[in-house]
Amino acid sequence: MGSLDGRVVLITGAGRGIGREEALFFAAEGAKVVVNDPGVEIDGTGGDTGVAAAVVEEIVAGGGQAVANTDSVTDWDGARRMVHTALDAFGDLHVVVNNATVERNRGLADLTEDEFDAVVAVKLKGTFAVTRWAARYWRERFESGVRADRAVINTSSGSGLLNPLPTQASYASANAGVAALTVVAALELARYGVRVNCLSPSMARTRLTLGVPGIAEPPATGGFDPQHPATSAPIAAYLAGASCPLTGQVLSVRGGSVAINHGWTRGASIRKDGPWTVPELVAQLGELPMDDPFDKLAEALGGALGAGGRERIQQMIDALL
């Protein structure tokens, strides 16, 4: 018996990368899976219905149960339809995994409105839209007397939570928004038996990360590959299980490491009884310990840029822009 036997799961962006690996893993654990993916390019253009169908075929060939859906998460009615795809095919919906994402990497001064909107529409609005339609269904079931564990698993990124990358103003902003949405949804939906958590895979080898410093080729000798997109699938399956107690949590996954994130936390402070003057702030505020974003990015990239800290990061930014 698998850990997800009898669970009906909708996974967006499940045609490739992390979403595909989660779909395969969930099916192997006994879940009935709706594989959603319109088959677009990295920037969200184009479309290929065969991408989702290929994952379904692989699941079915392995003895699992799955159906395809090719709606876009940016389409409000499409988000509703993919929820109903699960209901029509399997009679219920227990878990939503929001994986869909696109990228339009460009320096802030050159990024267009349409490019920014395209990324936010998929990553942030899409996460909201699918979750909203699932929540409507779950609320109706709860109010009719049906009690069942339901779960939402959102997908964020280190670029947005821990180490926003240069040229990713839209992507980092949207991913940070997904983490905030996770906490809000967890607080609101608990009354209906819905748990909401977020996974933040880092340094996983996908179409979107091949150009990131530190992403390496797969090991030639086999064995554990810490950058394989499948590394986060077991953690996602744990969060999807009916016995999982977690809600409102954002977990970072990097290779074999799983960490609980605490988001923005209050740091050192200065205090005065009364309004501050600018000279007082000049004298005191600059003395507080503060993180250097250049150093944090170098650390997050695992030393891939070598020694030099700020200088190497600035060189990378200059090359990108």
The residues that are catalytic are 171
Indicate the Cα dihedral angle 197, 198, 204, 210, nearest 10°.
Answer: 150
Report how far Cα 213 is from the mean position of its chain's Cα atoms.
Answer: 20
Q: First-to-last CA distance in the chain?
A: 52
Instruction: Decide: 155 and 77 in contact? Cβ < 8 Å.
Output: no
- H-helix or E-strand spanning residue 183: helix 169-189
In angstroms, the CA 184 to CA 203 distance is 27
Strand residues in the chain grouped as ranges (E): 8-12, 32-36, 65-69, 95-98, 150-155, 194-201, 250-254, 257-260
Give the span between the Cα atoms of 23 and 34, in whole angstroms.
8
b/e per residue 13-30 (b: at least 16 CB within 10 A): bbbbbbbbbbbbbbbbbe
DSSP string computed for 12-31: ETTTSHHHHHHHHHHHHTT-
